[in-house]
Amino acid sequence: MRHVRWVAPGRLITAWLWARCRQEVPGHPPSDRVNSLQDGAWALQFGIGGNFTLNTFNGATISVKKHFSDRSAVRAGVTLTAQSSDSHTEVAFEDTVNSIVAQSDRDTYGVSLGLEWVRYLRPEARWSFFAGLGPSISFSHSTNTDESSDRSFVRTDRSNLWGFGVNGLFGGEWFATKVIGIHAEYRMGAGYNKVSDDTDNSDFHVHREGKSWSLSPGFVRMGLSAYF
């Protein structure tokens, strides 16, 4: 079984964050500000999980934020997924010496992008409230193939899923240091999904389509932003 997954090394992240705690934001002169909410500042964002461990923020493989003023910023999150697996099954018949080997292949990949415009209410303070809104888009594809060794049975299933959504949020960010912010936010969203499935074997072809709407109830997300 082959599995591909993008995960940031925890120890390298911790070491980098420790170094950031001891630095000013590059490109900005030293000041008496207690945070990095200023024009031109960038931040990498991480989620805070159980036992205060760092993980992906809001499910994104990488999440960044860019400030265009003290009060306004844009957040972008990109999620990449990929998985491939192979399996073999041998079926032996009791009344013969013959057997059939069945092979199954599974391949899946996907990508999603989320953008959010965020507005800060108290950009000069150590504790600042914010609110945001933005769109999201996603696509995933999967192919499943089952085939017997004598090719008496071959079946292929393909599926494509498109997703579109709008997300809203509000919360607060507290700056432990000038370049490290810890934030909590309440999120909710609405989405539209469209799926297209195709099944092929030696006897027939089937095509199916479907669509759905959803309204996600609110949930709270904890995160950490490292500014540079």
**74-101 per-position pLDDT tens digit:** 999 999 999 998 887 766 555 555 666 7
What are the extents of the domains in the chain? 2-227
175-193 burial code (b ≥16 CB/10 A, e <16): bebbbbbebebebebebee
Q: Could you tell me if 78 and 113 are in contact, meaning their C-beta atoms sit under 8 angstroms apart?
A: yes
Q: What is the DSSP letter of 24?
A: P
Q: What is the CA radius of gyration of the chain?
A: 24
pLDDT tens column, 132-177: 999 999 999 999 998 877 777 788 999 999 999 999 999 999 999 9
> Quick one: pLDDT at residue 226?
96
Lowest mean pLDDT among 2-6, 28-32, 66-70: 2-6
Band of residue 1 on the pLDDT scale cut at 50, 70, 90: very low
Give 2-227's CATH code, choosing from 3.30.1420, 1.20.120, 2.40.50, 2.40.160: 2.40.160
> What is the value of pTM for the model shown?
0.74
